[in-house]
Amino acid sequence: MQPIISVMVPTKNRYKYLIHLITLIEGFNDKRIELVIHDNSDNNSEIINFMNGKSFVSTVYFYDTDKLSMGENAEREINKCTGEYICFIGDDDAVCRNIADCAEWMKKNQIDALRPLYLNYVWNENMGDKKGILYYDEISLTYKVGNPVKELIKILKNGVPHFGHMAKIYHGIVKKSLLGDIQNKYGTLFPGPTPDMSGAVSISPFLEKFAMIEIPVVLPGMSRMVGGGVMGKVLTLDEVKFITDRDRNSWERDFPKLWATELIWPDCALKALRNVKHEELIKYFNRNKMLSRLVVIHKTYFKEAYEYSYSKISFLLIFICYFISEGIKYIYKRKVLSNLNGKLNGVYYVCENLGSIADAEEYLMNKIANMKFDNLIFKK
């Protein structure tokens, strides 16, 4: 039987998290789910020892000893997936047991890509005696149909600060045949150093039907090793050991040569647009907004941002406005809205003292025990 969905996990030297993930998905005992592991670790003896002597319902394991970038590891894995739909996650993430039901609902409704409810599980590695914490948005039995290109243009105009409401393969679900078509025509889905943003931008111009639901399906995890263990830091490109020379040498020439999320995602977005021959959308990209965000978050890099701005006066005005607006948002969400509705930052619900990401998945499934995908209501 062909699985309805493949959960693809490119991984390297992070078996601590991967073993949790395999154990969770095997516990679903659902042949409709294929868990594809593409392992690029330096030595795979630990995972082989874990898997030896066990029978698996969902897990398929591949080991690749070539030196691969994150994008190359993911690219090779897509071709090994046999499901009708693909969900790309990291080894410190998880999926919920309802993911096959979700994919079947997508197929029934001819949906190319789906973005599930926002969730985030924070592993307890840096919290002393505290256990894991789950953050999640409002759950409801509703869905919307989005315009992927319109959402892409929005984030370009803001300097690509985040994913907004974009369609995504990373932490989302996408029809495999569509991914294969893009690969065959343009050579790659993941140009640039990180596949999350490049994958989202690559698929956006080609989606006919994109849905956003408010039900938990994919459970992103935030571990100590998120972002290669350098999340939140700023390094020079030469200091980043896990990117390839190709990605380092092809860095956008109008960007500071710094490894920071505020620059990485825009770099990937522009490379993806060129790769899929949609350069006409690059005109919407606002470099000064990108640089302003870099300085607001990393204040010591004002000189570098100012140097790379295309209009110094425009940059200064955008920076001042951005700084003020972010301050107002911070105060409103944390001091006003959170006091009114009791949510974190006025937005997210919180569940604390979870022993593992599997406990977070079980908590969420208990909350939606009576919710069925066939009962989803369209919301304009």
Q: How far apart are CA 207 and CA 295, in angstroms?
A: 34
Beta bridge partners of 36: 8, 60
The mean of the pLDDT values for the chain is 92
In a domain, residue 170? The reply is yes
CATH number for 139: 3.90.550.10
Cα 232 to Cα 235, 281, 294, 309, 333, distances in angstroms? 10, 28, 11, 22, 22
Residues listed for the chain: 380
Confidence of residue 128 (pLDDT cuts 50, 70, 90): low
In a domain, residue 40? The reply is yes
In a domain, residue 28? The reply is yes
What's the token pair of residue 327? 């301050």
Q: Provide the number of structural domains found in the chain.
A: 1
pLDDT at residue 230, as a whole number: 57
Q: pLDDT for 274-302, tens place per residue?
A: 999 999 999 999 999 999 999 999 999 99
Q: pLDDT for 201-260, tens place per residue?
A: 999 999 999 999 999 999 999 887 665 555 567 999 999 888 888 899 999 999 999 999
In a domain, residue 315? The reply is no
pLDDT at residue 364, as a whole number: 97
Per the structure, the complete domain to which residue 43 belongs is given by 5-227+348-378
In a domain, residue 370? The reply is yes
In a domain, residue 201? The reply is yes
In a domain, residue 304? The reply is no
In a domain, residue 173? The reply is yes
